[in-house]
Structure formats: structure tokens, C-alpha cells
A and B are shown apart, each in its own frame.
Chain A
Amino acid sequence: MPAVSKGDGMRGLAVFISDIRNCKSKEAEIKRINKELANIRSKFKGDKALDGYSKKKYVCKLLFIFLLGHDIDFGHMEAVNLLSSNKYTEKQIGYLFISVLVNSNSDLISLINNGIKNDLASRNPTFINLALHCIANVGSREMAEAFAADIPRILVAGDSMDSVKQSAALCLLRLNRTSPDLVPMGEWTARVVHLLNDQHLGVVTAATSLITTLAQKSPDDFKTSVSLAVARLSRIVTSASTDLQDYTYYFVAAPWLSVKLLRLLQCYPPPEDGAIRARLVECLESILNKAQEPPKSKKVQHSNAKNAVLFEAISLIIHHDSEPTLLVRACNQLGQFLQHRETNLRYLALESMCTLASSEFSHEAVKTHIETVISALKTERDVSVRQRAVDLLYAMCDRSNSKQIVAEMLSYLETADYSIREEIVLKVAILAEKYAVDYTWYVDTILSLIRMAGDYVSEEVWYRVIQIVINRDDVQGYAAKTVFEALQAPACHENLVKVGGYILGEFGNLIAGDARSSPLVQFNLLHSKFHLCSVPTRALLLSAYIKFINLFPEVKGTIQEVLKSDSQLRNADVELQQRAVEYLRLSCIASTDILATVLEEMPPFPERESSILAKLKRKKGPGVTLPDLEDQRKERGANVNGGSEHGASNSAATPSPPESAADLLTAAPTPTNRPRPVSSSSLLQPMLSPLSCLSSLSPLSSFAHQGTAATMSATAAGPLFQVSPSTSTDLLGLASPAPSTGGSLLVDVFSELHAPEQASAEAPAPPVADDNFSRFVCKNNGVLYENQLLQIGLKSEYRQNLGRMYVFFGNKTSTQFLNFSASVLCQEPLHSQLNIHAKPADPTVEGGAQLQQTLNIECVSDFVDAPVLNIQFRYGGTLQKMAVKLPITLNKFLQPTEMVSQDFFQRWKQLGAPQQEVQKIFKSKHSMDTEVTKAKIIGFGAALLDGVDPNPSNFVGAGVIHTKTTQVGCLLRLEPNTQAQMYRLTLRTSRDTVSQRLCDLLSDQF
């Protein structure tokens, strides 16, 4: 507080503060504060009125004490009194105190609001500004409710001063962020856009922020801002910096405004008007040109400002993704930054390049920097920069450079930071597979991956190797040889033992010809690792041994010895024990023929998407904003890559049975005691049941079960029994939900799941999830939607043509969701048929917390479509978008009507016109339980009329649909046919559309 004049110095405050600063100990400080508080209390208590100056002084002291961390429970009234003072300093302190200390539920709020209102209406611009600042600082809902309507008026009023406009724009921005629903959109919006043309650059800067936020909400309303923004930008960029006076920052013209304008433009696609577009391109070019110019100052602020504009321009270029020359230029520019001294610049350059790499125009250009990026990976001191380098390498990888990149990443892996190792491992595994021309290279790569970073190699990686080796005849021999060699190292990682066990068990015979890798040598090599391994690996090795018995009869004796030993037969682990016992018996009893059949080579796995990729995406999931090639493309709707990949961004909205279920090998061992799909050998069924209980969670039990299942059947059915390889695939397919295609039992879960999604991926909006939709036709409460992050629950009630729905958003993670918004979208015909008013939701959802949103619904006339709930929030750093169909269906407005038989038939006849009746005959999807059916009809909204239909097994219902405009009577009749498992549903209403819709809805339920 500078001593302005004698009256404003507040010496008492200065003395007090210096006293506190001089306190030697906490105790002394508390004593001083207590003394001061007592003094202030006696002053405030005093009967004589205090003058404004001392009031201000004491309020200041209280504020200071509060900021030191002590509780203040008085003085609010005095602070509010200061608001009505006519002195700037007194008013200012009053506002300061209020914005720091007054909480929203205080009873003083009306007094405060009154004070603010007076100031807003005042002629003095500084007073208006103070009031605006206070509103923005508090920013509560109450403030928004009270003043949201006034501020736009101030903002667009012709006679407002520049500084007032500036404050008003920022204040409105703040209110819009906290309670977007309360800020009315209206005729002022058009005028706000024109603030971009304002003389005063401060106003323009503030307005740009506001418009950017508003444009994100309703892009159409602010379309006109594009041309204005481009015009403004071009004036800044091309003008000589002298005419911007105060807004030139270290020789850079209005950097903040430029950045904001560029960000605003990123809300929109490239302008369609050729002239504007040319002007924008010119701007971007000149920004890129300026980056090439020698710096006008050596100060860091100069280069920071310049680069800020440049990076924003580049991200706009990437966003538009339409100007090849610009993209290439941007890429070259970033390439220069890759070797810049500033770590931050290198980081940003790598990050932007990652996104550039995904554009088809600049992919090649990015690739030219591969050497630099690799050296960045090796020499960079900052781990986050190295991480970005890894991302970029991954993004720029294609067939031409994959070998080099994979080799580099592998060699880096040895020295990589622990935090990013797993990710590198996954990336290497994916790249190696994706771009493998020759699979020996692939096998080599993955094996060295396991050797170097065994602990970070997840299950999926080595599953995938085995899948590929089994499916490719040409590499099997090579793989066996390589694995054998790798296993000879004195210490090898358990994952390597797993791969080795599996591959040698399958293809050991291919290298057995060599005396150095004779069967016995192979076995001894594997068995030397046995005791060092964990139980699942041991189980796998046991299966490998039994396979050896089949492959090499000469080692049978040795292996039987091993299986016989107490450490196997009496192992404490039930899985190991069972395997040992079963394998031992199998090897003793079964003839070589049976062995050969039972222990046949594993059949090829069906081709499918790599589970590793899914794993990588899951790992990155929310929270990590790695620009991934596929993700990026998906998000833009330019699905260049075809449908073969699926983006993590979409997976959130997928009606996903968890991805893990889709992983080929992990899926197999899920407990098998549920009814399984058609099996070619029904004889095997009873044999499998006891086994299934014991089936382990070991990833390879599929492999084992092929053996164990056969053991049992072989002992039971003897040589008569033929086990076809398809039985084992059947086991693998168990987890996939009811595969309908008989041919390949193992259905690629992914391809099914994503078929509908790809169709919708064309549209920029996320796919609409409606999997739980039909469940809500007959009930009002339940869980509508759920994924890893979010659970949406519903509770709804309807009365006549009105309804209220409570939507609960449950945050399932431990981190908060930011910028949370949920809005209801009604497509065109529905828009006029249904009025939905959504109360705005809180913008943040804490981790583990639940947020409630209320929807008020009014049915204007009958409708067919369902409204869509669009949800958008920021989790970690990524923007999550999803859309869910809201189960507001026509039958919700159906009110039951009780009537007697006579009335019913009378009305039934009245509605006899052919277009009024809709009939549908359909097959029952569920069991035909009478009680369930009754419950469904009642849940549907109709009154269930007993004793109306002469046939007691038929159901008859009646009801009235209430809409704002009309009421529609509905009669329905449902005739079940238990023998044929069919239903006939007849609906008669006074409107044909209603009949049709109700019939569709209801028939879906049975």
C-alpha cells in the first residue's frame, strides 16, 4: 500500500504488519494478532460511528490477519459498508475483503449484491470496473444469477469506456466458465463479434478470449468471427510494429492477441471464402517468415513471444491440415527447433511434430528429421523430452524406416528411464509387427526386447509373438532355433522362458536334427530354468514337456521321471499337481497315435487386431496426451487408415465388454463353467466340466487344456475317440459371447464391436451409445451407460405430458473431470416435438464423486426419435466426448386407463380404421413368463385389463398418451403363442404414427 497521501497511508496497518514480521516466534505472532483483534472488536463495538478511513484500515488489518491463516468471524458488515463509500480506496478495500472472505451463503449477500448493482449503474468507470472485478473474482452461481443479464449490456453499450468493456468481457468469460447456463445468449452475441474490430487492442484481446469460449459452445452463432479474426490477425502480423504502441512486447506485435486469435480460428474449419482463406494463408506464411528473420532482441522475452505465436500458428496449420506447403514449412521450422538450445522449444517442437507426422502432407517432411530425433533420444537430458522423442519416432515410423527406428528404440531401451520403458516396449512390439517384412526380423526383435527389458514386457507382447509364430510356417524353425540359443544364456527372463517353453514344445522337432540341440539337450535346457520360475510358467513348462513326449519319444523316460518326482506329483499348487498327474498318466496309457492326435501342433490363430495396440492405447488412455497416429485421424473424422484400427478416443464410447475379454489369449482361460457354444464333439462336454472348475488363470491353459481335456477323454473313450483340433479352439472361444457363426468359433470380438462404430466414425461427433436404451422402455431407473471413466445413472418420473429426469454422472476414477458439460441434443423433427430443459451441471466432477443433472421434459406432440445426451469433459489432459441416447420414449407419457370389458371393445371397434391399427408378429426373445410379461406391460405405461379378453392367456392394456397438444388413446393386445414362441401384438390408437411407434417399442421388449 504506497503512501499516496496523508489520508491514505494507513500507518496503523504498516505498523501492525511490521510488528508481525518482527515476531520472533509463532506464539509472539498469535499474541500480537489477539491484541489487534481485541482492539478492532472494541473499535467496531464502539457506539460512535467510525469514519471511512479507520473502517478501511481495520478491514485491511482483518484481511491481513485472515491471509496469515487465522479465522475471522466479524467485520463483514463494515466491509459491506465500505462498498457504499465514494472514495476509490475505501471501495477497493471493501471489494477486496468481500471477494476474499465472504462466502456465498452469507446473509450479507443481498447487501453486497445491492452495492455491486449500484456500482454497475454508476457513471464512474472505475467503480464499474471494481464491481466487475468483484463479480469475476467471486464468480459464484449467485453472482452469475444476479448479474449475468447486466454484464452483456455493459459490454456492448456504445458509451462504455474501453477499460470497462475489457473488464466486462473478462467477467462474462468467467461467469460463462462457472455457470454457462446462466449466461443468456441473445442479440448481444452478434455485437460481441464486432468487438474484434474495436479500436482498443485490450478490448479485442479480452473479447477474443470470450468469443473463443462461446464459439466452442455454439460454433454457428459465432461463424462471422472467422473473417473478422483473420482480418485482425493480418493487420497485426503485417503491420509495422510501431502503430500498436503499448501492445508491442519486445518487438513482437501483440503476441497475446495473436495467439488468442489463432486459437479462435482453431475452433473452425478452414474458411471457405477464397479471399479470407488467402489472407489467412498469407498471415500464417508471414508468421513463418518472421521466425526466419534474425531476432530483433537478444532478450528471452522476445524469442518467447515470437515462438508462442509461431507454435500457435503451427497448431492452426495442423488443425486445418489442408495446406501442404504450409505443413511442410511448419515441419521445417520445427526441425530447426529440434536442435535449439532451449529445452522447452525442443519439447514443443517434438510434440507438434508428432501431430504433423499424422498428416499425409507432412509425413514425409517429418521423416527427414529422423536423425535429429534419434540423437535427441540419446543425448537429451530431460526425460519428458526423451519421451516426446519416442512418441515422435513412433509416429513417423513407416515401412521405409521401421528397421532403423526399431533398432534405435531397442538400443535406447537399455538406458531408458524406468517410467517410459513399458511404453517403449509396447511401441517396439507394435512397430515390429506392423512393419515386419520378414518375420525372422520380427522374432529377433521381440526376443531381444524380452532379453533387454523383460520386466517391462507385458503378457500381451509375448502372446502376440506366439500367435505370429504359430500362424507363420516360415518362421517356426527360425524361431525355435533363436529361442533355443537365447535360452542358453545363464540368466534369462521368465518371459523368455515362457516363450521358449511354448515354442520349443510346439516346434522343437524342427531343430532336433542338430546334435547341439538334440531333444535331450532341449529338455535339459528348459528344465534347468524350471525351478527358478513362477507357478504359471512352470505349468506352461509341464505342458511343453508332455508335448516333448509326443515330439521325441526318446526322451519319454526322462520326462516321466521328472513328472513322477514328488516335487511335481505332490506339488502344493493344485494346478501343477493336476498337470503332473494327468500328463504322467497320459504318457503311460496313451498310444503314440493318440498322443500324436491329442498333442497335435496348435492350430493357427485367427487373424485379428493386435492386442498389444489395445494395450498401448489403454495404457495411454486418459491422462496422457500422446498424439497417436490413429487417434488423431479418428478425431478428425478423416479416417485415412480404414477401419482396421480403432481409436482410444472411441473406445470410451464403445459398448465395450472390457477390452481384456477381447484379448485372444487372456480370454481363453476365463472360467469356463458357463454354457458353452455349440461344440463339434458333445461327448467331450461332460469330461470338460470337472476340469473347468480347476481351470487355472494361467494364460496358457488353452494350450494345457488341449492336453488335459484330451487326457480325460482318451482315458475314458479310448482310441475310439477322435479329438479334432477344433475342440481346443472351442475352448478358446468360450469367452466370446455366443458366437453365431458356426465356422470360426473364435469370433473376433473387435470386428463385431466396431462395425457399427466405423459407420458413425465418419461423422465428427462421437458414436452414440444406445446399448442400454431398450432396457429403459419399461422402467425408469437404472444405469444407462458405463465405461472405465464414467457411469451414468438415471432416475426419472413422468406425469401426463411432463417428465423429470435425474441424470447421475459418477466419476469412477480418482482424478477430477474438468470442464464437464452435458447437453441434450434433439435432432430436427424431435426438436419441435419434445421440449427438454437441462439444468447446467457443475463443470468439475471430483474423483469418485457423483454429479447430478436434472432434465425437465415436456412432450409437445408424439415423437419417434430419442434425444441424445452429449457429454464432454477433460480427463487428465485429454478431452473426452461421448454421446448417449436418452431413453425418453413416447410410452413414458402413456397414462394407464382402467376400463371394463364392454368399454374396451366399444373403443376397440371405434378405432377400426386400417391406418389406426398396427399389428406385428414376432418371435420371442426371452422366455415367455406370464408375470414378466405383465410387469412389462405395466412398466410400459398401460393399464393391464383383466377379464377383458376371452382368452385368459392374452394380455390387454389401455392407456392415454398425454402430449401438450393432444391426447391419444391407446389400446393394445398381446397374444402369446407358447408352442411357436411367437407373439402377436396389436395396437390401436387414434393416430397412425403413435400406433407404429408404440408397437415398435413394445415388440422389442418381448
Chain B
Amino acid sequence: MIGGLFIYNHKGEVLISRVYRNDIGRNAVDAFRVNVIHARQQVRSPVSNIARTSFFHVKRSNIWLAAVTKQNVNAAMVFEFLYKMCDVMAAYFGKISEENIKNNFVLIYELLDEILDFGYPQNSETGALKTFITQQGIKGQHQTKEEQSQITSQVTGQIGWRREGIKYRRNELFLDVLESVNLLMSPQGQVLSAHVSGRVVMKSYLSGMPECKFGMNDKIVIDKQGKGGVTDEAGKSELGGSGKQAIAIDDCTFHQCVRLSRFDSERSISFIPPDGDYELMRYRTTKDIILPFRVIPLVREVGRSKLEVKVVIKSNFKPSLLAQKIEVRIPTPLTTSGVQVICMKGKAKYKASENAIVWKIKRMAGMKESQISAEIELLPTNDKKKWARPPISMNFEVPFAPSGLKVRYLKVFESKLNYSDHDVIKWVRYIGRSGIYETRC
């Protein structure tokens, strides 16, 4: 179990230190600072073992969060907790920064007391926490006994993530499918590795204790239904560029509200949603990925002091859709002494501090092509090392899911209150972003 939790700023100064168990001494704080934050060589492993003590850390901008333990804990659990901790903090005071942490340190200690008990993670659902840890200080006096007992029964009850008696005039539901597509491509255009990791994020404003059911074009479900002779054509080829019906999901995880037993038996996703923002599921696919962009590089070395680079990008989706925030990053050799760039579209600039040419295009429709060419002057050095030619990377945002995932339905049932599925206003949105999207040159 987690023995303690520390938060450091980028200099390694301790901002928050909470020790849960006696086996973690004061020197653990310094050990992590000395061996990880101030380490000579950048520590890349998220887990460090120092003197039989394990440190699990995540970094959020310039802030280090480190969980410490002397026991053999489930590392995945610890990281899940750390991420959750970040989410909770973000939900309370926004961006995690040194200043925010300093301004909210009382709150953070309060949260740490609540979500971690003797090193065991407790209910870390933001919605639930917000009912009794408020930013306006404790309102214990104002709370009635009833309210207090209500909180107790909610937090300790079966559905700890939702309280009873929620009422909305308008029952509304927002569903976002957020995906990030990762790619590594050879110079010849061969896909070396590609996968999509996606999230289904929801925001629900529903009254009472509604029962929801979520359906998507999961291959297993579609095939099963196909056998049964019932085919749902509703979601077919409405969005995105492909007409394929079903996608194969490699693995997925769900919010705790999803009834896993029912998913295991029927593969249907049914749940009582928390109120407000939450992440319903996370998934990963590796098959039949729609690659929104293709990068075609051309690098030519002219003598020892010159390099010519030409890069073509092609958008590969329906012409009606618009990709946004496109950025191509072309690395330059470490001996670059000057760069001339010509591009047809967007803006390109040599950024010396990053050793790269950055080419930005605001918008680009599908099935289009654009090109940049650059002349790089090199300074001959006595160092014989060859340039390693790092890959060209890309960033973008597209309004469809590159995995091909589609929402087939989202049904809401509330038996006690008087509203039906049709009365709920539902919003669905797809956003595909680039993860690590690289092409070798």
C-alpha cells in the first residue's frame, strides 16, 4: 500500500508531503529529489527503487507527484490513483501548477486525507467528493443531520458516485469520442506501427437515478446480432470516411459505474451515470485505422554543407471534413547554420531552439495535398558523427474517429420519474487528434 505521497515543484522543493505509514521516513523525500529530480541523467522510468523503497511518479507540467512505498504494491493501482489524484485536483482548482498547489494546499491535504486512508485508496469520485469537501471551507455547521447522513449513505452505499434526488428541468446528455492516433511510418510509406487510443467522455445532466445503455459498432456485438438476423443500419456510414460497420476493440476499461458482469455476459454497456463530467470508457484499437494524413519526405544532401528537404502532406478523408491545427515538425541537423523555407500553404519557420522547422496550417480539407521545401545550410565540423535523422512528426485535429468507432445508441431509462428516452437531449461529437504521428525520413 502507498506509504506516502509527495508533491514537488520543478526545483525539487517539497510542496505537499503526506506520510501514511511509519515505514516511510523523512529521508525518503530527499531520496527522491536527489535520485530522480536532480539525477544527472534524466530518469525515464516512472518507477524508481531507492534503498528498498519504491517511488512511483507522474509529472504534470512542472510538478512531480510521487507515491512512496516500502511494500510490493500493485504498480498499476498506484498509477491509477496518481492519475485520479490529478483529475480530482484539476476538478477542484483547474490547472495543476506550482502556484495553484501552493494556494490550495489546505484543500489538497483535506483531499489526501479523504481519498487515501492508511495508504489504501478510497472513493476518489470528484462528484462525490465535492459534496463534502468544498472550496468554501467546511460547511459542517450549516449541514443538517439529514444531509450528513445522506452523504454517508451515498459514499458508503452501492452507488457511491451518484446521490439521490437530483433534478433537472432539461435532461441533457453530452457524449464525446476523443481519440488519439499514433503512427510510425517508413520513408517509403510503409506502416511500421499504428494504434489508436480513445476515450468516451460524458457529461450528464439527468434527473433521478437513470439507467443508461450505451451501444457502439463493436465487432463482437454486431456479429452476434447479425446471426440473430437483426441488423442496425442506423449508424452506417454517416460519419468519417469509411463505410465499414464494425471495429475490433483490443482492450478497454470502464468507469466504475458500468456493470461489468453484464458486459462480460452480454457485452452491453449499462450503467447509472455519475452527475457531471466523467470518463465512461477507454479503449485501444490497432486494426483498420484510418490514417488522416500521409507525409512524404524527401531529403537530399548536397555536399557537406547543404541539405535539401521537401515534404508533401496529403489529407486522406472525406473532402467535406476539415482538419484543424495542423503542424508538421521537420528536424534539422545539429550543425545547421541557416535555413530557407518555401511553402505553398500555411506558415513555416525554423526554430533554432528546438532544432526543427515548424510548419503550421490552420485548416485543410480532405483529399488535398500541400508541400514545403527547405534549404538547410550546414557548418562543417570536425566531428565525424553522422546526423541521426530523427523522424518528421505531425500534429492535427480531425472531426471523426480514426478508429472508425461509431455510437449506435445511448438509451436512458428512468422508471420512477416521468421522462422517457425521447425527452433527453443528446449530443454526440467525435474528435480525432494526433498522438505520436511520425514518419521517418
Chain A residues with CB under 8 Å of B353's CB are 31-32, 34-35, 38
- Nearest CB on B from A156, distance (A): 39
User: Is A24 on the interface with B (CB-CB < 8 A)?
Assistant: yes
**How near does chain B come to A669, taking the closest CB pair, in angstroms?**
41
Binary CB contact string for chain A from 26 to 37 against chain B (1 if under 8 A, 0 otherwise) = 100001101101
Contact residues in B for A106 (Cβ distance below 8 Å): 382
When the two chains form their complex, are residues A41 and B10 in contact, meaning their CB atoms are under 8 A apart? no
Chain B residues with CB below 8 A from A39, complex form: 352
Interface flags, A474-503, vs B, CB<8A=1, else 0: 000000000000000000000000000000
Residues of A within 8 A of B383 (CB): 73-74
A293 interface hit (Cβ, 8 Å): no
Residue A44, interface by CB 8 Å? yes
In B374-415, the 8 Å CB interface with A consists of 377, 379, 381-383, 385
Q: Is residue B253 within 8 Å, beta carbon to beta carbon, of the partner chain?
A: no
Does A34 contact B382, Cβ atoms closer than 8 Å? no
Considering only residues 333-382 of chain B, those with a C-beta below 8 Å from chain A are 334-338, 352-355, 377, 379, 381-382
Q: How far is the CB of A79 from chain B (nearest CB, A)?
A: 12
Q: Are B382 and A45 in contact (CB under 8 A)?
A: no
**Cβ–Cβ < 8 Å partners of A34 in chain B:** 352-355
Given contacts A25-B62, A31-B354, A41-B337, contact A73 B377 (CB under 8 A): no
Q: Which residues of A contact B385 (CB under 8 A)?
A: 73
- The minimal Cβ–Cβ distance linking A68 to chain B, given in whole angstroms, is 13
Say how far B39's CB is from chain A's closest CB, in angstroms.
Answer: 11
Min CB gap A23→B, angstroms: 10
Contact A42:B338 (CB < 8 A) given known A24-B10, A34-B354, A73-B383: yes
- Check if A35 sits within 8 Å of B10, measured CB to CB: no
Q: Are A45 and B381 in contact (CB under 8 A)?
A: no
Among residues of A, the one whose C-beta sits closest to the C-beta of B335 is A41
**CB-based contact A45/B355 at 8 Å:** no
Mask: chain B, 305-343; 1 = CB below 8 Å from A; 0 = not:
000000000000000000000000000001111100000
How distant is the Cα of A801 from the Cα of B343 in the complex, in angstroms? Answer: 78
* A107 CB within 8 Å of chain B: yes
Residues of B close to A45: CB separation below 8 A: 337-338, 377, 379
Q: Does A795 make an interface contact (CB < 8 A)?
A: no
Residues in A with CB closer than 8 Å to B355 are 34, 38
B62 to A35, Cβ gap below 8 A? no
8 Å CB contact of B382 from A24, A26, A44, A73: A73
Tell me the chain A residues, 71-112 only, with Cβ under 8 Å from chain B.
73-74, 76, 106-107
Q: Which B residues lie within 8 Å of A74 (CB)?
A: 335, 379, 381-383
In the complex, which residues of chain B have a beta carbon less than 8 angstroms from the beta carbon of A26? Answer: 42
Task: Tell me if A's interface is mostly helix, strand, loop or mixed.
Answer: helix
Bound form: Cα–Cα A26–B62 in Å: 10
Tell me the complex Cα distance, A26–B355, Å. Answer: 16
Query: Is B354 a contact of A44 with CB atoms below 8 Å?
Result: no
User: Once the chains bind, are B381 and A38 in contact (CB under 8 Å)?
Assistant: no
Q: In the bound complex, what is the Cα–Cα distance between A32 and B352 (angstroms)? A: 9
- The answer to whether B62 and A41 touch across the interface, beta carbons within 8 angstroms, is no
CB proximity of B51 to chain A, nearest CB, Å: 21
How far, in whole Å, are A26 and B10 apart by their CA atoms in the complex?
9
Q: How far is the CB of A222 from chain B (nearest CB, A)?
A: 44
Q: How far is the CB of A27 from chain B (nearest CB, A)?
A: 9
Compute how far the CA of A107 lies from the CA of B352 in the bound complex, rounded to whole angstroms.
29
A37 to B351, CA, bound (A): 12
User: What CA separation (Å) do A883 and B81 show in the bound complex?
Assistant: 69
Please pick, from B42, B62, B352, B382, the residue contacting A38 in the complex, using a CB distance under 8 A.
Answer: B352
Q: Per-residue CB proximity of A163-189 to B under 8 Å, as 1/0?
A: 000000000000000000000000000
Interface centre among B334, B337, B355, B377 (most CB of A within 10 A): B337
A26 to B42: give the CA distance in the assembly, Å. 10
Complex Cα spacing A292 to B235, Å: 104
Q: What residues on A are CB-neighbors of B334 within 8 Å?
A: 37, 73
A466 CB to nearest B CB, Å = 44
Contacting residue for A41 out of B336, B354, B382, CB 8 A: B336
Residues of chain B within 8 A (CB-CB) of A31 are 353-354
Q: Which residues of A contact B379 (CB under 8 A)?
A: 41, 44-45, 74
CB within 8 Å of B: which of A289-303? none
A35 neighbours in B (Cβ, 8 Å): 352-353
Q: In the complex, which residues of chain A have a beta carbon less than 8 angstroms from the beta carbon of B10?
A: 24-25
Question: Contact at A24–B62, with CB atoms within 8 Å?
Answer: yes
Distance of A106 Cα from B381 Cα, bound (Å): 12
Q: For the complex, what is the distance from the CA of A51 to the CA of B27, rounded to whole Å?
A: 54
Q: Are A44 and B352 in contact (CB under 8 A)?
A: no
Cβ A107 vs Cβ B382 within 8 A:
yes
A39, B352: Cα distance in complex, Å:
8
Q: What is the bound-complex CA distance between A426 and B10, given in angstroms?
A: 53
Q: Are B382 and A42 in contact (CB under 8 A)?
A: no
Q: Closest chain A residue to B62 by CB distance?
A: A25
Residues of chain B lying within 8 A (CB to CB) of residue A24: 10, 62
Q: Smallest CB-CB separation from A30: which chain B residue? A: B353
* B380 and chain A: residue at smallest CB distance: A74
Q: Is the CB of A76 within 8 A of B382?
A: yes
A870 to chain B, nearest CB (A): 43
**What's the minimum C-beta distance from A58 to chain B, rounded to whole angstroms?**
12
Q: Closest chain B residue to A26 by CB distance?
A: B42
A552 to B379, CA, bound (A): 97
Shortest Cβ distance from B356 into chain A, in angstroms? 10
| Least distance between A849 CB and chain B CB atoms (Å) | 25
Alpha-carbon distance between A73 and B379 when the two chains are bound, in angstroms: 10
Chain A residues lying within 8 Å of B62, measured Cβ to Cβ, are 24-25
B337 touches A44 (CB 8 A): yes
Q: Which residues of B contact A44 (CB under 8 A)?
A: 337, 379
Residue of B10, B336, B353 most packed against chain A (CB within 10 A): B353
| A42→B381 CA distance, assembly (Å) | 13
Interface residues of A in 18-66 (CB under 8 A from B): 24-26, 31-32, 34-35, 37-39, 41-42, 44-45
A39 to B382, CA, bound (A): 19
Query: For the complex, what is the distance from the CA of A76 to the CA of B355, rounded to whole Å?
Result: 22
- Measured between C-beta atoms, what is the minimum distance from B84 to chain A in Å? 25
Report the Cα distance A126→B376, complex, angstroms.
43
Roughly how many angstroms separate A24 CA and B42 CA in the complex, as a whole number? 16
Proximity string of chain B (199-210) to chain A, C-beta cutoff 8 Å, 1 when within and 0 when not: 000000000000
Of chain B, the residue at the smallest CB distance from A106 is B382
- Residues of chain B within 8 A (CB-CB) of A73 are 334-335, 381-383, 385
Residues of B contacting A41 with CB < 8 Å?
335-337, 379
Closest to B42 in A: A26
Q: Mark A222-237, 1 if CB is under 8 A from B, else 0.
A: 0000000000000000
User: What chain A residues lie within 8 Å of B336 (beta carbons)?
Assistant: 38, 41
> Can you list 17 contacts pairing A with B, beta carbon distance less than 8 Å?
A31-B353, A31-B354, A34-B352, A34-B353, A34-B355, A35-B352, A37-B334, A38-B337, A38-B353, A38-B355, A39-B352, A44-B337, A44-B379, A45-B338, A45-B377, A45-B379, A74-B383
Q: Given A37-B352, A41-B336, A73-B383, 14 other A-B contacts at CB below 8 A? A: A24-B62, A32-B353, A35-B353, A38-B336, A38-B353, A39-B352, A41-B335, A41-B337, A42-B338, A44-B337, A44-B379, A74-B381, A74-B383, A106-B382
Please list the residues of chain A having a beta carbon within 8 angstroms of any beta carbon in chain B: 24-26, 31-32, 34-35, 37-39, 41-42, 44-45, 73-74, 76, 106-107
| 10 tightest A-B CB contacts, nearest first | A38-B352, A73-B383, A45-B337, A31-B353, A35-B353, A41-B337, A74-B381, A73-B381, A35-B352, A41-B379
